[in-house]
Amino acid sequence: MVDFKCDGYQNVIRVEHESGEAGEWQPVSKRIRNREKEVTSPYPFLDVASDLVAQLAVAN
């Protein structure tokens, strides 16, 4: 099994043009709003898979 390291998440917002058309995506710093994502593992697939195995073990 291969899992790729998650280097982080980035919040973005779409900035509209003056004409009202959808514009480009612009990054928004999470630290400004103090809402950083809770990181449980740098390897998200392995983290989710291990949680699933633990939940299945408890269910049986």
- What is the chain's pLDDT, residue by residue, as a tens digit (60 residues)? 666 666 666 677 788 877 777 778 877 765 555 555 555 667 777 878 888 888 899 887
At CB < 8 A and 24+ separation, what contacts does 21-30 make? none
| pLDDT score recorded for residue 37 | 52
Relative to beta strand 25-28, strand 11-14 is antiparallel
| pLDDT score recorded for residue 7 | 61
Task: Name 26's bridge partners.
Answer: 13
Query: What are 59's two structure tokens?
Result: 């269910």
Query: Distance of alpha carbon 9 from its chain centroid, rounded?
Result: 5
Domain ranges in the chain? 11-59
| pLDDT score recorded for residue 14 | 80
| pLDDT score recorded for residue 23 | 79
Query: Distance of alpha carbon 29 from its chain centroid, rounded?
Result: 14
